[in-house]
Amino acid sequence: MEKSLKTQNYGADQIRVLGDLEGVRKRPAMYIGSTDKSGLHHLVWEIVDNAIDEAMAGFCDYIKVTLLDDGSVEVEDNGRGIPVEIHPQEQRSTLEVVLTKLHAGGKFGGQAYKASGGLHGVGLSVVNALSEWLEVTVKRDGKMYWQRYEYGKPVADVQEIGDVDDPNISATVVHFKPDKTIFSETRFDYEVIRQRIRELAFLNKEVTIELRKDGQEPEIFHYESGLAGLLEEIAEGDQKVTDILHFSGEQQDIQVEVAFVYVDDFDETIVSFVNSVRTVDGGTHVQGFRSAVSKTLAEVARRKGLLKDNNVSGDDFRQGLRAVVAVRVPEPEFEGQTKGKLGSKQVRGVVEDIVSKAFDSYLETQNEVMKTLVQRALASAEMRETFKRTKEMMKNRLRVESTVLPGKLSDCSSKDVERRELLIVEGESAGGSAKQGRDRTIQAVLPLRGKILNVEKANWKRVVDNEEIQALIAAIGTGVSDHFDYTKLRYGKIIIMTDADVDGAHIRTLLLTFFFRMMRPLVEEGHIYFAQPPLYKIERKRSKDVTYLYTDEELQTFLKKHDGENFEIQRYKGLGEMNAEQLWETTLDPETRNLYRVTVDDAEKADELFSILMGEKVQPRKEFIFANADLVKNLDV
């Protein structure tokens, strides 16, 4: 059959094969980052990114993502459809090659895609390898094709299953269910996927994306406002100092688009993308943008006679900056398969040149804006110097105090940092039970009195003057902020143990705010944990057998299963209600306890949430509370 105009330039000869799937199931984290919730959702990103690649190539304008009740996901796009003809190198269907060969895809052909988010060509095959089953349907050249895989292996050859009424209609449908033997969590989070879909719709304003969950009405995402619209959302609630600036350009086949605005705040927030893939760790495109903004502001300010102070730094010029930086690069170099950071050196120069020229032209005609931004930079420099002097004054005292262990710390005897655990316990009563019930070899106990200082609102001097924070800093041993020294960490696990009530949740939030702001590497490297003590003790009246339950849902399930038996049910209001033996049995014993490791999947979102909940601004916090009021489960009135 004659190929349609849409698919005739995308065939088997555009698919290059570079390797097999060996090791994907043995070492999945090498390809998707992890096997937890983050890695699970990465499967969806890989398939959706393929569809976005088709959109960026100009062949797709509608993508449909469906979350089904059985835990599977279906992604459909109206792109060209994966080629199905016999591959000249592999002598089997090209569709099967793409699904079973690790480095096989149109990204290697040099013509099928000018810019691609799925650079490495491993996305679809890795999803296939890590799925319990995967089904793919392709519409091409008037025909419909289908194939099923189980645990990465084809069940049968590619089958032609029917005709398509219009030969110009083409599509790819990928339907898969993650392998529960690979992933610790197999339930997809609708909100996580929704947020990513919205980003993609802003970044690709020519595309409409439909998100559907079984039994619910679909959400349709399409934003004509593009990058500027995404920036409006990022800066929502902030008082703008300038208008939103929107620049774009192209050099060396690299397309650059930026949107940025200054707001009345101190922090700098830059959200970046490469070929529509979020680069959470930035990279050369962000470096080029930051340099362009700072240098251009400084040059124009000096040219206009507004700046003579040489103490103003690049950071001072970017105080209160909110920005979105998006580039499309033919062959980007990422650090790792998860594409968290761009490494392509030539991108920095291109971004810096395009932004510098456009920003310079704008500033030349905006005298009032220039005066405002220069005044803010000068104020930032002065504040930075004052802050530096204050920190230096506290430096020696902090170093001395961090070497003297707090008196209320009950330390452990092991010298092996990886085995040593610090139990941060709420209250003296729970602290007493923990001290008696712990394994003294590996578990140290530090009881805290009440709520610690809110470091989001406090200045640096107040933070280090706080007695409870001093005890934390001394016990952990690393120091804080610029004085943080990872080599001096005294415990491999730092476990927050609080009551399962509103006060306990508040204390957890304050502690996590402290760690996130003052000892961030501990969060990033996975040293911070939440203990999960039981909520209920169930004792059979006759046999005196005891069962511990950790959630209300577990209680309801237990009662339904044992309907008709009369039990004695105790709801724990706090850790202090448990004796030492119970606390060991349920919460401290490394063999049986439940620990939740704190991770930072998205540092920008975490930073934003901390600022909303713990910062000085009241209005964003009110809006957050109103928006999430229906989700409250425990409320003290």
Which are the catalytic amino acids? 426, 499, 501, 503
Q: State the angle between helix axes of 603-614 and 618-628 in degrees (0 to 180), rounded to the nearest 10.
A: 100
Helices (H) and strands (E) in the chain, counts: 19, 24
405 burial (CB, 10 Å; 0-12 / 13-18 / 19+) is middle
Count of other CB atoms within 10 angstroms of residue 332: 24
Assess contact for 581 and 437: CB atoms under 8 A: yes
Assess contact for 148 and 43: CB atoms under 8 A: no
Tokens for 462?
């107040």
Nearest to 275 by CA among 602, 49, 601, 46: 49
Q: Report, in angstroms and rounded to the nearest whole number, the Rg of the chain calculated over CA atoms.
A: 28
Tokens for 139?
């519409």
Rounded Cα–Cα distance for residues 575 and 438 (Å):
14
Biggest distance spanned by C-alpha atoms of the chain: 88
The sign of the torsion formed by the CA atoms of 175, 179, 180, 183 equals: negative
**Collapsed DSSP state (helix, strand, coil) of residue 176:** strand
Tokens for 192?
């996580």
The sign of the torsion formed by the CA atoms of 432, 433, 436, 439 equals: negative
Rounded Cα–Cα distance for residues 246 and 261 (Å):
9
Assess contact for 37 and 182: CB atoms under 8 A: no
Nearest to 455 by CA among 464, 443, 446: 464
Nearest to 527 by CA among 468, 597, 577: 597
Nearest to 572 by CA among 550, 557, 589: 550
Residue 308 DSSP symbol: -
The sign of the torsion formed by the CA atoms of 180, 184, 190, 195 equals: negative
Continuous H helices in 319-419: 345-364, 367-401
Rounded Cα–Cα distance for residues 292 and 354 (Å):
9
Assess contact for 152 and 144: CB atoms under 8 A: no
289 burial (CB, 10 Å; 0-12 / 13-18 / 19+) is buried
Assess contact for 161 and 144: CB atoms under 8 A: yes
Angle at 409 between CA 403 and CA 410, to 5 degrees: 120
Nearest to 492 by CA among 517, 526, 452: 526
Rounded Cα–Cα distance for residues 396 and 26 (Å):
49
Residue type, 634: N
Tokens for 207?
């595309």
Nearest to 587 by CA among 544, 548, 554, 555: 548
